């Protein structure tokens, strides 16, 4: 089972005005923060009590015998439900569960002094239980019914229901497909969140679905080489199938933005009062905006490339995708540093696993110097960036294609290691 999150902007409430809906969201967000911080406090107090109990009696106390609950979630809920009465009870439970999970994750680091006790800020997301949402498609678009207010709070608001219907911006086709599949029951809605960014409210819709099982009929291996001339070069082991993606799209955009950033930096030195504002933050704001554009472009391109890679693997019956392990990437390579190849690999891995394709990372050492035809390894085999010519057998081919064929070879790490042993 896989779980993903898709973000949708809340355009407007359907059954009330923004003044009321905004007030409800702010009130519930405030209460959510208090609830989660109080829950963390209870967990910390229980940890201290447990430690003292262990010292005194040689064993840790049992939560059920001490509090009457199997864990801290029940105890916190019983304490907090009468204090914070504006939240839908299912959402209250979800917030408490999230805080307890955070505590469990941090406990060891907190005790060692490596991490501070979690403290949730004012912008904490509002939790939504999976049963607190219902999605429908109408002539106006996609409507999401959100159960937010408790019975007590809805009376305070003079409403007949604690549920609020909102119109969301469905975005592109991929976003709409997710909504349609949730409506059809193909995807199961999971606990989700509402959050606020730059005075806009968004729904982070969480959904889950079954992952495809590995397809045993796919016995081919796809090798992926990443580089400068071609960000991605693909080749299939023992097959003529190959495909490359040109790097011009990435490099041109990066150069354009870097040029624009330099122009903005020069403008900042000679800016008028409109750019001076409250100081340095106002001056660098356009530069930060330009950097955000680069990050968004990288994310979009990596989604595009990863989709193309997985589709190529499926088309050629590949059950395995092999890529270079880039953890030891050369920090002198400016292009590879400026482009998030690790992010690309993560997206490939995620999309491939959904299709039942295994992803393996191999040691990239010598894959660019090895001849994919005879197996001979030598640094002189690659006289130029884009050219490969084996000095042993004379085989000549595109350097990236040669590297991708090597990467696609089964057990290539062991093959290279054996060759190097024999050479020495």
Same-domain pairing of 100 and 33: yes
Q: Are 369 and 416 in contact (CB under 8 A)?
A: no
Q: Count of domains in the chain?
A: 2
Q: In this structure, are 192 and 143 located in the same domain?
A: yes
Distance CA 376, CA 356 (A): 34
How confident is the model at residue 322, as a pLDDT? 95
> What are the residues facing 197 on neighbouring strands?
200
**423 is known as an active-site residue:** no
Residues of the chain with pLDDT under 50: 275, 331, 335
Q: Is residue 157 part of a domain?
A: yes
Are residues 55 and 94 located together in one domain of the fold? yes
d(CA 242, CA 246): 13
Residue 27 maps to a domain: yes
Query: Do residue 69 and residue 204 come from a single domain?
Result: no
- The pLDDT value recorded for residue 339 is 59
pLDDT in tens, 362-392: 988 899 999 999 999 999 998 887 889 999 9
C-alpha 372/C-alpha 228 separation (Å) is: 20
Q: How many other C-beta atoms can be found within 10 angstroms of the C-beta atom of residue 91?
A: 26
**For the whole prediction, is pTM greater than 0.75?**
no
Among 209, 227, 243, the domain boundary falls at 209
**DSSP code per residue over 169-230:** ---SHHHHHHHHHHHHTSSEE--EEEEEETTEEEEEEEEEEPPPPP-TT--EEEEEE--SS-
Residues facing 142 on adjacent strands: 137, 168
Out of 180, 292, 400, 411, the active site residue is 400
Question: Does 11 fall in a domain?
Answer: yes
Q: To which residue do tokens 């590949």 refer?
A: 318
Report if residue 215 sits inside a domain: no
- 270: exposed, middle or buried (Cβ count in 10 Å: 0-12, 13-18, 19+): exposed
Which residue out of 45, 140, 225, 363 is catalytically annotated? 225
**Residue 69 included in any domain:** yes
CA–CA separation, 216 and 398 (whole Å):
32
411 is catalytic: no
Give the per-residue pLDDT at 283.
54
Q: What pLDDT was estimated at residue 338? A: 53
Read off the pLDDT of residues 209-226 as tens digits, 9 standing for 90 and up.
877 666 656 779 999 998
- Who's near 190: CB < 8 A, 6+ residues apart? 3, 130, 206, 207, 208
Cα–Cα distances in angstroms (integers) from residue 171 to residues 11, 88, 175, 288, in the given order: 11, 29, 6, 25
Residues 12, 30 share a domain: no
Question: Is there a domain that residue 400 lies in?
Answer: no
Dihedral over Cα of 64, 68, 70, 74: its sign? negative
- How confident is the model at residue 65, as a pLDDT? 77
* Residue that terminates a domain, selected from 193, 209, 225: 209
Examine the residue annotation and report whether 332 is marked as an active-site residue of this protein: no
The answer to whether residue 194 is domain-embedded is yes
pLDDT at position 222 is: 96
Pick the catalytic residue from 52, 59, 324, 413: 324
* Residue range(s) defining the domain that contains residue 30: 23-112
> H or E element: which one contains 281?
helix 280-315
Task: Examine residue 326 and state whether it is found in any structural domain, yes or no.
Answer: no
Do 206 and 214 meet the contact criterion of CB atoms below 8 Å apart?
no
């Amino acid at each position: 089972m896989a779980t993903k999150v898709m973000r949708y902007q809340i355009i407007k409430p359907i059954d009330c005005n923004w003044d009321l809906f905004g007030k409800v969201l702010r009130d519930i967000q405030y209460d959510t923060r208090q609830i989660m911080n109080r829950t963390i406090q209870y967990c910390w107090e229980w940890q201290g009590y447990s430690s003292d109990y262990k010292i005194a009696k040689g064993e840790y106390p049992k939560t059920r015998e001490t509090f009457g609950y199997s864990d801290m979630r029940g105890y916190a809920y019983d304490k907090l439900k009468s204090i914070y009465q504006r939240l839908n009870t299912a959402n209250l439970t979800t917030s408490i569960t999230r805080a307890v999970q955070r505590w469990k994750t941090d406990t060891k680091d907190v005790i060692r002094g490596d991490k501070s006790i979690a403290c949730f800020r004012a912008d904490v997301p509002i939790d939504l239980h999976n049963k607190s949402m219902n999605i429908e498609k109408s002539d106006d678009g996609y409507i999401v019914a959100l159960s937010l207010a408790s019975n007590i709070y809805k009376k305070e608001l003079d409403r007949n229901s604690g549920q609020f219907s909102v119109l969301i911006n469905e975005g592109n086709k991929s976003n709409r497909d997710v909504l349609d599949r949730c409506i059809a029951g193909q995807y199961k809605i999971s606990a989700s969140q509402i959050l606020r960014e730059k005075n806009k409210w968004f729904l982070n819709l969480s959904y889950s679905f079954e992952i495809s099982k590995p397809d045993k009929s796919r016995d081919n291996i796809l090798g992926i080489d990443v580089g400068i001339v071609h960000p991605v070069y693909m080749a299939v082991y023992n097959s003529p199938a190959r495909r490359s993606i040109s790097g011009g799209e990435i490099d041109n955009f990066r150069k354009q933005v870097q040029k624009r950033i330099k122009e903005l930096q020069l403008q900042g030195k000679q800016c008028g009062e409109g750019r001076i504002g409250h100081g340095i933050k106002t001056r660098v704001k356009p530069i930060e905006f330009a950097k955000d554009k680069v990050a968004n472009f990288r994310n979009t391109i990596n989604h595009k490339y990863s989709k193309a890679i997985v589709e190529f693997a499926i088309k050629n019956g590949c059950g395995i995708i092999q890529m270079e392990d880039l953890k030891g990437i050369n920090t002198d390579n400016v292009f590879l540093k400026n482009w998030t190849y690790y992010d690309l690999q993560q997206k490939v891995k995620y999309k491939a696993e959904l299709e039942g394709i295994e992803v393996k990372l191999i040691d990239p050492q010598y894959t660019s110097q090895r001849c994919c035809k005879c197996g001979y390894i030598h640094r002189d085999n690659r006289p130029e960036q884009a050219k490969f010519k084996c000095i042993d057998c004379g085989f000549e081919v595109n350097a990236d294609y040669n590297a991708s064929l090597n990467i696609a070879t089964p057990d290539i790490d062991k093959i290279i290691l054996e060759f190097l042993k024999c050479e020495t």
